[in-house]
Structure 1
Amino acid sequence: MRRGDEFAAAIRRGNRAGRPTLVAHLQVREDVAEPPLVGFVVSRAVGGAVVRNRVKRRLRHLMRDRLHRLPRGSLLVVRANPPAASARSEHLAAELDVALDRLLRRRGPDHQARTDGRV
């Protein structure tokens, strides 16, 4: 995800699941059949440029293995909190899984079957 309006739509209109190291916002656009889009927000509060880029790379790597869980047409924004800078990858992965589970569970049981990215 690269466009500001997509980030804004996911944050303003999507569901939110917060964890100590990250916050995830998910908006599912039912009328869009495109693959899911994921964006990352890592502010200066997390650390300097090197630390921020490292956190983004780690989150991007973790999301690659979880992208299939998102429904088609969805917008996901993952915002890193300051503790993400010192968190181990296993801890970040666990926090990301909990946040995604919460967001996908909120969609309801009738949508659970379509979280594989297919229509």
Structure 2
Amino acid sequence: MLARAHRVRSGSDFRETMRRGRKTATPTAVVYARSGEETAPARFGIIVSKAVGGAVVRNRIKRRVRAICANVAPSIPAGTAVVIRMLPAAAEVTWDTLREQLTTTIRRAVNA
């Protein structure tokens, strides 16, 4: 579980990160990353639309993405906001594939 301080919570933060952040993509997700104040911790926001699947599928994907974000968070620079928009293909991939793709994509978006 991501601590409250490590979550993007407001709609305006989601919009700003998606509008002004760097974008990278995989078949399962689109990742946006934007640098911010270095006094704040790295923050993550997750978007999983109904196009991905039913409630059970969407919640499973969100749990997996939160676990991946918690593992990646220590290596992300302070003040960085990351928004992850999951695509319908995410419902079909295994845990290992999702973890590998997202970890690589998040690091690529942050370091680009």
Using the size of structure 2 for normalisation, the TM-score is: 0.88
Secondary structure of the residue that 1:72 maps to in structure 2?
coil
Distance 1:104 1:35 in 2: 14
Matched, 1:91 2:97: yes
Distance 1:62 1:100 in 2: 10
What RMSD over aligned residues (CA atoms) do the two structures have, in Å? 1.1
More helix by share: 2
Matched, 1:15 2:22: yes
Shift of 1:36: 1.0
Secondary structure of the residue that 1:34 maps to in structure 2?
coil
Counterpart residue number, 2:39: 33
Match of 1:6 among 10, 13, 26: 13
Q: How big is each residue's C-alpha offset from its partner over 1:45-99, in whole Å with a ceiling of 9 and x where there is no partner?
A: 1001111111000100111110012111111001111011121110001111221
Distance 2:75 2:10 in 1: 22
- Residue-pair matches, total: 105
Counterpart residue number, 1:102: 108
Shift of 1:16: 0.5
Runs of 4+ in structure 1 deviating by more than 4 angstroms, as ranges, are none
Shift of 1:32: 4.2
Provide structure 2 residue ranges, at least 5 long, that are not aligned to the other structure.
Answer: 1-7
Identity of aligned residues (%): 35
Distance 1:9 1:82 in 2: 24
Secondary structure of the residue that 2:56 maps to in structure 1?
helix
